[in-house]
Each structure stands twice: as C-alpha cells, then as structure tokens.
Amino acid sequence: ARRFRVCFIDLFLLPCSSLFFVHCLVDQEWRVALTFKISYYLAVTYFCLGQVAEENKKRGEMVCYYENALEQVKEAWKNATKISSD
C-alpha cells in the first residue's frame, strides 16, 4: 500500500509550468485534499485491520496496525491544516 501511495502522490506532485500559475494553485489545493484523503482512508484501514488482529488474538500485528493508523492520522492532520477554509 505504501509503494502505491508514494507513486500515486508523486504523479500528482509534478511541478507546474509558470504559464499556468492560477491553474497550479487550484491543483495544489486539490493535491493537498487528495493526500489528506489518502492518509485518512489508510488510517481507517489500518485501524480496522488492527481490530481484526485483536479479535484473532494476534497482538503483535494489532500493535503494528494501530501504530500505522496513528502515523496516518498524524499525516492526515498535517495535510488538513493546509486545506483552506474558504
């Protein structure tokens, strides 16, 4: 999942041409929103996987999933602060 995420984000973070400055501003905000959503959904996914691991008494996996969920929540929060409130 991490490899796909990095490739997916890199695709949308390519530098913009100066001729399309206004378009780039819109794209930049869209990219920030997209990275927020990716982090948020990954956090939810890791949390759910942690719940399943907990039900199956797999404590090591559970801890790893919860730690990954926490990392993704922190990253999502970081991106959420960049989104304009307009």
Question: pLDDT for 14-32, tens place per residue?
Answer: 454 444 444 555 577 788 8
Q: What angle do CA 2, 76, 41 make, to 5 degrees?
A: 60
Report the half-sphere exposure of 53 (CA within 13 A, side-chain side): 15
Write down the pLDDT at residue 19: 40
Give the whole-angstrom CA distance, residue 54 versus residue 61: 8
Q: Is the pLDDT of residue 78 over 50?
A: yes
Rounded to two decimals, the pTM is 0.66
Residue of 54, 10, 17 lying closest to 34 (CA atoms): 10
Write down the pLDDT at residue 21: 44
Q: Are 42 and 2 in contact (CB under 8 A)?
A: no
Token representation of residue 35: 């990275």
